[in-house]
Structure 1
Amino acid sequence: MPRLLLVALLLFTQLAHGQAVPYGNNPVAGKYATVRGVKLYYEVYGAGPPLLLLHGNGGSSKEFAKTIPYFAKRYRVVAMDSRAHGKSVDRADSLSFEMLADDCAALLTHLRLDSAYVLGWSDGGITALLLALRHPEKVKRLAATGANLWPDSTALMPELWQQMKRGYREGRTQTFTDPSRKNDWKVFLLDWRHPHIPLSTLARIKAPVFIIAGDRDVIRPEHTVAIYQNLPRAWLWILPNSGHATLHEHADEFNRKTDEFFRARTILLPSR
């Protein structure tokens, strides 16, 4: 029996018996791929055009528990754990968004997918933008919610930036012997030191982009608008009454609107 059919039948059995699908830790749908020297974990659901889901800092593919069921009805959803996150194994010391973007391209190649729609949240949104910059042939369209282009108080809200500064001061003098805590520190430094994407480089992104944020996001609203305004073809959506977790707090509306963007016939130019 073909694997995709087997996965579909097993998932149907889970749902028929009232079992919650363990997204992010599902032996039925999960696999590993060794790419670029890293063992990446990913799960596949549904059939149709490929859709790559990219989670936030310190998270994993389980963050898409409210996203996968909707899109799996129409797409072949690939939810991956970024290196050093979730079940993906990464023993290297360094970490950057460029590395994460190159991992995404390598995983798509491993899966024999020429390109995919991409949905990224927070760090995943940053990775999605860099994927479109570094591997434009891999991205059909991308949606990025809660993404920033650089790490300072001009991009992040003051409360978050102060919290990060305190975290850095507390951690920089420590010696981490426990592998888990050492990995957590590496993941923290990813957001402390990165990304560094000049606004001007966004003009090179040819794929249509959907820029999303909550009106109470941890990303400054003017930073989100600037990202939108510097993209050649883009939509902008600021969700009312929403924080950083737009895809959780307004899951139904978020899924419908993002799907509408992926399937739209035309993408209007941003207002300058």
Structure 2
Amino acid sequence: MKRHLLFFSLLLLCQWAVAQTVPYGNNPAAGKYATVRGVKLYYEAYGTGPPLLLLHGNGGSSKDFQKTIPYFAKRYHVLALDSRAHGKSVDRADSLSFEMMADDCAALLTQLRLDSAYVLGWSDGGITALLLALRHPEKVKKLAATGANLWPDSTALMPELWQQMKRGYQEGKSQTFTDPARKNDWKVFLLDWNQPHVPLSALGRIKAPAFIIAGDRDVIRPEHTVAIYQNLPRAWLWIVPNSGHATLREHAAAFNSKVDEFFRARSILAPAR
């Protein structure tokens, strides 16, 4: 019995060590580029099974899914994407919108000859996931969105974040950015300052089952998260206790398990009206 326990302990230790050494977000063994819609998109592919598209937040990259990829790669073909203007993706355009990024996702799936995928989005990635389901319903099997908002103001965002964004806008709006990197950072900032603009009524057109998630101390107002859930035809809601915006990091084990449960559920009951 002791030998078996020692063996499994060593096995778990080895798996943990491997997970720690994988350079997610900058992994030559898994990284690929796809040119879609005039943009060179970087993504990393892991595992086999049904396709699962991972979408990160503002200013982030596929590296943000270090605690997500190892779990889902056991059961899914995980595609961790760097959105346009983020990470290792190359985007020289002046404009940026959530609609662009949603259309990029659909084009990428088409180029990879994938009819549809499960989608998991965090923050801006959650917004993109909702817009992907709206604009390209055939591409989304189910979606999970954590920390997403539908419009950019103090009715959707917590006051602290909104004040921080207002200060950032005031400081940056009069500057002339000659450094391409800073110009790109400003473009990414303006994405959340100016967008999205998705009316609650539009959510009724989403056909894919949705899992709406937020932390109980998220930067998204809880009533806004609940309103998103209430306006979706088929949805689950989870307000994660003792969690901020980074639900998938702060409570990785529970988060991964619940999202996987949602993806694998055979039926999604409509919420009570």
Structure 2-normalised TM-score?
0.93
Match of 1:203 in 2: 204
Alignment: residue pair count: 260
2:258 is matched by which residue type in structure 1? Answer: K
Match of 1:86 in 2: 87
Match of 1:99 in 2: 100
Match of 2:5 in 1: none
2:108 is matched by which residue type in structure 1? Answer: L
Give the match's secondary structure for 1:268: coil
Q: Hey, what's the Cα distance between the residues in 2 that align with 1:17 and 1:146? A: 29
Give the match's secondary structure for 2:108: helix
Shift of 1:24: 0.3
2:134 is matched by which residue type in structure 1? Answer: L
Shift of 1:71: 0.2
Shift of 1:237: 0.2
- Unaligned residue ranges in structure 2 (runs of 5+): 1-13
How far does the alpha carbon of each residue in 1:50-88 deviate from its partner, in whole angstroms, 9 at most, with x for none?
Answer: 000000000000000000000000000000100000000
Match of 2:158 in 1: 157
- Unaligned residue ranges in structure 1 (runs of 5+): 1-12
How far does the alpha carbon of each residue in 1:68-110 deviate from its partner, in whole angstroms, 9 at most, with x for none?
Answer: 0000000000001000000000000000000000000000011
After TM superposition, list the pairs within 5 Å mapping 1:20-59 onto structure 2. 20-59=21-60
Identical counterparts, % of pairs? 87
Shift of 1:271: 2.5
Structure 1-normalised TM-score?
0.94
Shift of 1:269: 1.1
Match of 1:4 in 2: none
Change (3 A) 1:222 1:16: closer
Change (3 A) 1:175 1:72: same
After TM superposition, list the pairs within 5 Å mapping 1:95-174 onto structure 2. 95-174=96-175
Shift of 1:201: 0.4
Q: Hey, what's the Cα distance between the residues in 1 that align with 2:79 and 2:19? A: 23
Match of 1:238 in 2: 239
C-alpha RMSD over aligned residues = 1.4
